[in-house]
Homo-oligomer: A and B are copies of this chain.
């Protein structure tokens, strides 16, 4: 039986660094990625896809052009395609992202914070 249960706590315990996105599951052409985040991210959007943020542990904020969302443990949000957003975490937050394979964390903005080292854990 090769179908593996993903335990978020166990997976996070294997992630030694902040801001390194790790792949834990794939559903059709969608990736499920974990990240330990503690930073102010940049404004960006994903013109081609919606994106899900789910907080596994901690608190994050997502600034939008017309307000700021606050998400705690056990909360999620869908950022619609094309909507500019700027995520940030004041303290470390453990986040699950769900989006199509190949979606870049910096979306249309690019730049130095673009993560290109995605690996399975």
Does A70 have its Cβ within 8 Å of any Cβ on chain B?
yes
Which of B3, B27, B67, B100 makes the CB contact (< 8 A) with A98? B27
Count class of interface residues, chain A = 35 or more
Specify how many copies of this chain sit in the oligomer: 2
Residues of B contacting A64 in the complex (Cβ-Cβ under 8 angstroms)? 1, 3
Tell whether, in the assembled complex, residue A3 and residue B71 are in contact, meaning their CB atoms are under 8 Å apart.
no
Q: Interface segment, A37-45, A48-56, A108-116? A: A48-56
Most buried by B among A32, A51, A79: A32
Q: Are A75 and B30 in contact (CB under 8 A)?
A: no
Nearest CB in chain B to that of A49: its residue: B28
Task: List the B side residues contacting A58 at CB < 8 Å.
Answer: none
Indicate which residue in B26, B52, B67, B81 contacts A78 across the interface (CB closer than 8 Å).
B26
Q: For A52, what are the chain B residues with a Cβ–Cβ distance below 8 Å? A: 25, 27, 32
- How far, in angstroms, from A56 to B69 measured CA to CA in the complex? 22
